């Protein structure tokens, strides 16, 4: 790369253009990423109702959230969503969100399936493998990458559900369909507690990160063609 630009003789100019483009992205992120990020940290330790002056409240937000049954219930609801727990209200939301995304999942898996070399199936046939063995020993391991991707995608979607319960059930009946983002939204904008809501956002992010990490450890395989 370096060699190419020096042969053209545009080296210095190009490096400047590159840096300038990078700086434009960084400036954008100072305003719309870093600044909110700092606010996120400040809000977490602040007692504030949007209109009064923010007051440092130490760990008070954490204590309140630890006691907030509704919030933990909503995180548990994510697990119930992913596990298709039967109570009808949650079931209908699971069904709806799954239906919405099943096309994407299908495309991801499909792109993995078409990349499996035919020779492997021929080899399996020579070994007299039954269709079931073929599925378990060839197809599923070969699309492990895509399966993991769908899994991560589904988890991310589950933690990010907002529209469906907001529109369909409003979290009810008896909070059985309350989702973390809905609790966060209501904490911030109905109960006017942005500090607590910010801390909830951090907790939701940490929990979803942990779940993804655990799932990857449990199911991810390094499949290599020899």
Which residues in this chain contact other proteins in the complex, by CB under 8 A?
1-2, 4-5, 8, 10, 14-19, 21-22, 24-26, 28-29, 31-33, 35-40, 43, 50, 99, 102-103, 107-108, 111-115, 118, 121, 145-146, 149, 156, 159-160, 162-163, 166-167, 181, 184-185, 188-189, 194, 197-198, 201-202, 204-205, 208-209
Residues sharing a CB contact under 8 Å with residue 143, sequence separation 6 or more, in sequence order: 109, 112, 113, 116
Q: How far is the CB of 5 from other proteins (least distance, A)?
A: 7
| CA–CA dist 26, 33 (Å, integer) | 9
What does the alpha-carbon distance between residue 127 and residue 57 come to, in Å, rounded to a whole number?
A: 69
Q: How far is the CB of 7 from other proteins (least distance, A)?
A: 8
**154, 82 contact by CB (below 8 A):** yes
Measured from the CB of residue 59, what is the shortest distance to other proteins in angstroms? 19
Q: Is the separation of the CB atoms in 140 and 98 below 8 Å?
A: no
Report the C-alpha gap between 48 and 192 in whole angstroms. Answer: 8
Q: Give min distance, CB of 123 to other proteins, in A.
A: 13
Of residues 90 and 198, the one with the C-beta less far from other proteins = 198
């Amino acid at each position: 790369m370096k060699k190419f630009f020096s042969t053209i003789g545009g080296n210095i100019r190009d490096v400047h253009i590159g840096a300038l483009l990078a700086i434009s992205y960084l400036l954008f992120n100072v305003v719309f990423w870093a600044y909110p990020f700092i606010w996120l940290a400040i809000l977490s330790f602040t007692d504030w109702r949007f209109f009064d002056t923010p007051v440092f409240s130490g760990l008070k937000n954490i204590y309140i959230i630890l006691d907030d049954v509704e919030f933990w219930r909503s995180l548990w609801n994510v697990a119930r969503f992913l596990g298709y727990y039967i109570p009808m209200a949650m079931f209908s939301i699971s069904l709806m969100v799954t239906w919405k995304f099943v096309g994407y999942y299908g495309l991801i898996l499909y792109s993995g399936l078409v990349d499996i070399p035919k020779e492997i199936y021929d080899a399996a046939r020579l070994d007299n493998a039954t269709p079931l063995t073929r599925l378990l020993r060839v197809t599923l391991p070969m699309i492990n990458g895509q399966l993991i991707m769908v899994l991560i995608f589904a988890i991310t979607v589950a933690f990010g559900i907002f529209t469906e319960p907001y529109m369909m059930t409003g979290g009810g009946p008896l909070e059985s369909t309350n989702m973390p983002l809905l609790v966060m939204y209501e904490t911030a904008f109905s109960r006017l507690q942005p500090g607590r809501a910010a801390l909830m956002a951090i907790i939701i992010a940490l929990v979803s990160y942990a779940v993804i990490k655990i799932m990857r450890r449990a199911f991810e395989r390094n499949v290599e063609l020899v």
